[in-house]
Amino acid sequence: MTSLTTEALVALIALAVVVIGGGGALLVRRGRGELPPPSELDAITEEHIEHPEDPEPHLPSEDEEPPFEETPAVGTATLERPEAPRGRLARLRGRLARSNSSLGRGLLAVLGRTDLDDAAWEELEDTLLAADVGVGPTTELVENLRTRVRVEGIDDPERAKAALREELIDLVGPQMDRSLRSIGDDGLPGVVLVVGVNGTGKTTTVGRLARVLVAQDRTVLLGAADTFRAAAADQLQTWGERVGVPTVRGAEGADPASVGYTAVQRGIQDGVDTVLVDTAGRLHTKAGLMDELGKVKRVAEKQAPITEVLLVIDATTGQNGLRQAQVFSEVVDVTGVVLTKLDGTAKGGIVVAVQRELGVPVKFVGLGEGADDLAPFEAEEFVDALLD
């Protein structure tokens, strides 16, 4: 009885080993009582674990359109409501007046003299040239003022200021159409291509333009065609998320023209009012890159006409900004200019110079670092700010 009990216990122990060891995987080897070596034990374990293979990441070919990626303010509880353009003008006028007061004061100081001799008029010319007004416009303004002073007998500062204001407004060009063509014809969206060299604030300008349009109750889609800087697409997407505007972007290094094409295509499908396309910052000395920019425009136009090509210029760059403008206008037919970094400088005369050079208007000016520090340009507001 005792012997039988012992055998039964042995059998129970063996059964427990089988159960605890996970079935046949840990059975004693063919009656020899040997466990599998660690390497085989690992293999047995892996056999019973499912590992679905991760799909290979899809990389678009050169002829393939980049995938859509829309991000309309994901995770944002309350979307921002941008400031209305009119409110911006009132707020920014004071800032522009302070930043450019040296130009206005310099002009008024000369015209306020009782004796306007040749030296005084030369000083006036120097002040205008230092403000990047340009030789041609400066000569025109000074000659017109001299004529008015002589013919009208202007002999007091207030009348001189009034004459200067009128001449400056005429020089800036109040008759120019500064509206943004942000809606296309025949039910198509307006397509606004934004171009410019690195460092001018181009991507930021696109984000700010989106805010201007949202404040006017327009629907907007952003196209991140600057595929050479990963940060540019991320930056643009962030601007869009803040006001609920989707961004279409492709893989890093994708063909910029294909991204632009895709953005316009999606804008048509979604029925938006405006597609804003950010492009890579082109160095105007690199012919190949400039040719590529022309390609972005040509390809995007296969979907819908380009309604605006806005050139972003840093107002502090002076004559270098004018050279940039010349080259860009030859490649993509610039229709308007956005002047950034106009605050903190007495270089406001570049407004006149760039318009004379290109024959197109300045449509927006950037006057600070805030999200809504971009305002539609108005000739009279600008001149009054200079002379305040």
Dihedral angle, C-alpha 308, 309, 315, 317, nearest 10 °: -170
Q: Would the annotation count 4 as a binding residue?
A: no
The residues, ordered by sequence, that sit 6+ positions from 136 with a Cβ below 8 Å of its Cβ are 356
Question: What backbone phi and psi angles, to 5 degrees, belong to 88?
Answer: -65, -40
What pairs with residue 340 in β-bridges?
314
Q: Residue 197, annotated ligand binder? A: yes
**Is 196 assigned to a binding site?**
yes
144 is in an annotated binding site: no
Q: In what order do the strands lie in the sheet with 274-278?
A: 247-249, 220-224, 274-278, 190-195, 308-314, 336-340, 362-366, 374-376
Q: How many CB atoms lie under 10 A from the CB of residue 370?
A: 13
For the four alpha carbons of 177, 179, 180 and 186, in that order, the dihedral sign comes to: negative
C-beta neighbour count of 341 within 10 angstroms: 20
Annotated binding residue 138: no
Confirm whether residue 199 is marked as ligand binding: yes
Are residues 343 and 95 in contact, defined by beta-carbon separation less than 8 angstroms?
A: yes
Tell me how far CA of residue 262 lies from CA of 22, 43, 180, 308, 365, in angstroms: 56, 48, 23, 18, 29
Say whether 33 counts as a known binding-site residue. Answer: no
User: Is 114 known as a binding-site position?
Assistant: no
Q: Is 335 annotated as belonging to a binding site?
A: no
Instruction: Specify the residue for token string 């500062």.
Output: 157
Do the annotations mark residue 342 as ligand-binding?
yes
Please tell me the distance from the alpha carbon of residue 310 to that of residue 206, in angstroms, as a whole number. 10
Judge whether 24 is annotated as a binding position: no
- In angstroms, rounded to a whole number, what is the distance separating the alpha carbons of residues 7 and 27? 19
Q: Is position 201 annotated in a ligand binding site? A: yes
* Cβ contact 337:360 at 8 Å: yes
Strand partners, 313: 339
For residue 280, say whether it is annotated as part of any ligand binding site.
yes
Known binding-site residue numbers for GTP: 196-203, 278-282, 340-343
Known binding-site residue numbers: 196-203, 278-282, 340-343
